Amino acid sequence: MPALRLILGDQLSPEISSLRDIDPQSDMILIAEVMEEATYVRHHMRKIAFLFSAMRHFAIELESAGYSVRYVRLDDEENLGSLRTEVARTLEDHPEQFDRLVITKPGEWRLLQEMETWSGLFEAEIELRGDDRFIASLSEFEDWAEGRKQLRMEYFYREMRKKTGLLMEGEAPAGGKWNFDQENRKRLPKTAVPPPRKMFTPDKITSETLDLVEARFGDHFGSLESFDLPVTRKQAEAARDHFMYEILPGFGDYQDAMATGEAFLWHSLLSATLNCGLLDPLDLCQRAEAAWKEGTAPLNAVEGFVRQILGWREYVRGLYWLEMPDYGARNFLDARRSLPEFYWTGETQMRCMREAISHTARHAYSHHIQRLMVTGNFALLAGLHPDEVNEWYMIVYADAYEWVELPNTHGMALFADGGKMASKPYAASANYIDKMSDYCGNCEYDPKARTGETACPFNFLYWDFLARNENKLRGNPRMSLSYRNLDRKPPEEIAEMRNLASDFLSDIGALARENDEPD
Ligand code: FAD
Ligand code: DLZ
Ligand code: SF4
């Protein structure tokens, strides 16, 4: 039965389930750049350019392998603007040729829901296949989650280590410990120089894509300047190998560090190519393990890296599909303020926020601790509405798809799921940022001051956060130390900090949204 096979922008893997039984003689692959996907949120310009260029290169890869590919460009005059209409147009252009439309399920609930309505629209039978480019299947995750009150990543991760045998010595974890996190929290020494990165000069295809994005999406957030991302499988593999040999050895030590002007440090920068299918997660973990076995990278670095992929990445994907469609609707802390403008402009006196937002605008990237403990922590402390914060994270990062963005933002950063994912909110005062970075030394605010003109906003917002959410958080055993500290503060100081918080939030335009229903 001849089939039309639809490949989405984040399905750029030749082994994807929708291509598995392809017949090159009779079947056709459809890949389409469409306005609907490019604008359902106003993605960062770099993210669109990266993905369109990667899609175009993937089409060539498939053609070179002997497949028939219909590639629809965004500026194709006939382009009807959505995946559904492009499927319809292809089927109309090839009457009675295809009995089946084969698709690997998309990574976002909204699109899956839409595709599930397509069967009434087309004569071709629709076959939606599972996405098995992950190490754990969704049913494996469901089985693990079944009957558990709390879904802690650490326990899931241990199961995954046992299942794959990665970093295992028989039944025991390599090195006698499951987790080397304690060794991975070093502050960056002044003399440390982060390693140089592999950069990829745009070829003709990428240059054309950059022109298209500038013309069509020039008013979206971010910049296309010095575009150097890997867009082919070969380039993604070169970036992967560069990471494994040159960068992985230092990955662990400075995993939580932040430094002025340094966007990348020892992070892998592999998430965008991994999430769109140019790299494979199990292969990455195996290569990292091999580096440890060959003695080129220490165990704390390799375990830290493997945990991010085998643990966190698999876990958030399982959680997303387990909890959708309701996951994003919860607003446990009743956070109601709107996102201040500086999340888009970076114009704020808070040095740490300026750094994180400027890296984000420039690279469509910032590393995990900037996402979690700077922009995420600020949003949590300020009580910014989860819908607005989730949308910002979906827009600004080249690696953002809802299956991975939503649990990280809604659950981990904002605690909006009430503790499904994290055992307590990742709320922190300036002390944490000061410890893990050199930002505070260059800031107009004083990280030690809680009150007064130069008090760091992370301080008074932190205490305001604890006081404001007391009803919901005091009973959490992991918050007891924080509340004991709050109890020790003189009431006048708390009142002063709460006033400062209120004035500050008004000044920056983080205003309470009107007409919001309580959770
Ligand atoms: P590295 O630090 O080198 O880590 C290696 C790999 O591990 C990453 O490439 C990534 O694939 C994986 N990984 C690490 N942490 C996580 C995690 N928490 N969840 C899932 N995978 C992880 N990651 C995304 O891929 N897309 C997102 O939209 C996204 N949104 C986030 C939003 C917030 C608020 C937070 C706190 C984290 C978010 N993350 C997201 C997770 C993480 O920050 C990024 O995966 C990481 O920063 C990507 O950079 P890297 O490739 O250099 O990662
Ligand atoms: C993110 C994105 C963008 C910007 N554009 C397209 C596109 O034009 N065509 C396409 O097939 N996919 C695109 N994508 C990726 C999809 O949004 C992604 O496949 C879904 O969100 C499911 O994860
Ligand atoms: Fe950020 Fe406060 Fe430090 Fe300034 S003093 S960099 S605002 S934590």
* Same domain, yes or no: 98 and 21: yes
* Same domain, yes or no: 457 and 353: yes
* Same domain, yes or no: 49 and 96: yes
* Same domain, yes or no: 315 and 338: no
Calpha distance 32→250 (Å, rounded): 40
Is 300 contained in some domain?
yes
Distance from residue 459's CA to the centre of ligand 2 (Å): 39
Calpha distance 57→63 (Å, rounded): 10
pLDDT of residue 482: 97
| Cis ω for the linkage preceding 194 (within 30 of 0) | no
| pLDDT of 516 higher than 90 | no
Tally of domains in the chain? 3
pTM over 0.75: yes
Distance from residue 295's CA to the centre of ligand 3 (Å): 39
Is 207 contained in some domain?
no
Beta-carbon neighbour count of residue 164 at 10 Å? 17
Give the mean pLDDT of the chain. Answer: 96
Token digits of residue 483: 């509340």
Q: Give the CA count within 13 Å in the CB-facing half-sphere of 50.
A: 35
pLDDT digits (tens, 9 = 90+) for 119-142: 889 999 999 999 999 999 999 999
Give the confidence band of 91 by pLDDT, cuts at 50, 70, 90: very high
Give the confidence band of 147 by pLDDT, cuts at 50, 70, 90: very high
| pLDDT of 235 higher than 60 | yes
Candidate from 157, 160, 368 with most ligand 1 atoms within 8 A of CB, to mutate: 368
Of 67, 94, 129, at which residue does a domain stop? 129
* Same domain, yes or no: 333 and 457: yes
Distance from residue 53's CA to the centre of ligand 2 (Å): 12
Candidate from 358, 431, 433 with most ligand 3 atoms within 8 A of CB, to mutate: 433
pLDDT of residue 187: 84
pLDDT digits (tens, 9 = 90+) for 255-289: 899 999 999 999 999 999 999 999 999 999 999 99
pLDDT of residue 515: 61
Token digits of residue 341: 């403008």
Average pLDDT in the 340-352 region? 97
Supply the CATH number for residue 110's domain: 3.40.50.620
* Same domain, yes or no: 372 and 302: no
Which among 154, 152, 437, 183 has a CA at the least distance from the CA of 308?
A: 154
Helix spans in 32-82 (H):
35-39, 45-64
pLDDT of residue 181: 81
Give the confidence band of 485 by pLDDT, cuts at 50, 70, 90: very high
Beta-carbon neighbour count of residue 507 at 10 Å? 9
Question: What SS3 state is found at 7?
Answer: strand
- What percentage of residues in the chain have a pLDDT greater than 90? 92
pLDDT digits (tens, 9 = 90+) for 148-180: 988 999 999 999 999 999 999 999 999 999 998
Beta-carbon neighbour count of residue 238 at 10 Å? 14
Of 267, 295, 323, at which residue does a domain stop? 323
Q: Which ligand is nearest to the CA of 272?
A: 1
Is 216 contained in some domain?
no
Which among 450, 280, 276, 286 has a CA at the least distance from the CA of 364?
A: 276
Is 174 contained in some domain?
yes
* Same domain, yes or no: 186 and 125: no
Kindly report the protein residue whose alpha carbon is nearest to atom 4 of ligand 2.
Answer: 38
Calpha distance 255→252 (Å, rounded): 5
Show Cβ contacts of residue 451 under 8 Å, excluding neighbours closer than 6 positions.
460, 493, 496, 497, 500
Is 517 contained in some domain?
no
Distance from residue 286's CA to the centre of ligand 1 (Å): 19
| pLDDT of 424 higher than 70 | yes
Supply the CATH number for residue 296's domain: 1.25.40.80
pLDDT digits (tens, 9 = 90+) for 15-44: 999 999 999 999 999 999 999 999 999 999
**Structural domain that includes position 155:** 138-201+232-323
pLDDT of residue 185: 77
Chain Cα centroid distance, residue 95? 40
* Same domain, yes or no: 162 and 247: yes
Give the confidence band of 517 by pLDDT, cuts at 50, 70, 90: low
* Same domain, yes or no: 370 and 478: yes
Calpha distance 335→341 (Å, rounded): 17
Supply the CATH number for residue 343's domain: 1.10.579.10
* Same domain, yes or no: 423 and 494: yes
pLDDT of residue 252: 85
Of 279, 300, 323, at which residue does a domain stop? 323
Is 166 contained in some domain?
yes
Residue where the block lists tokens 């375990």: 303
Give the residues across from 103 on adjacent strands: 6, 128
pLDDT of residue 434: 96
Is 183 contained in some domain?
yes
Average pLDDT in the 479-491 region? 97
* 371, 18 contact by CB (below 8 A): no
Please list every protein residue whose CB sits less than 6 Å from any atom of ligand 2.
Answer: 8-10, 32-34, 37-38, 43, 48, 51, 83, 106-108, 111, 401
- What percentage of residues in the chain have a pLDDT greater than 70? 99
Kindly report the protein residue whose alpha carbon is nearest to atom 23 of ligand 2.
Answer: 107
Using CA atoms in the order 112, 113, 118, 124, what is the torsion angle rounded to 10 degrees? 30
Calpha distance 371→365 (Å, rounded): 9
* Same domain, yes or no: 163 and 266: yes
Is 153 contained in some domain?
yes
| pLDDT of 98 higher than 60 | yes
Apex 77 CA angle, 63 and 24, nearest 5: 20
pLDDT digits (tens, 9 = 90+) for 494-514: 999 999 999 999 999 888 876
Whether the CA torsion 157, 162, 168, 173 is positive or negative: it is: positive
Calpha distance 155→140 (Å, rounded): 14
* Same domain, yes or no: 341 and 417: yes
pLDDT of residue 518: 55
Using CA atoms in the order 337, 342, 344, 347, what is the torsion angle rounded to 10 degrees? 180
CA dist 312 → 158, 173, 199, 203, 304 (Å): 11, 18, 27, 34, 11
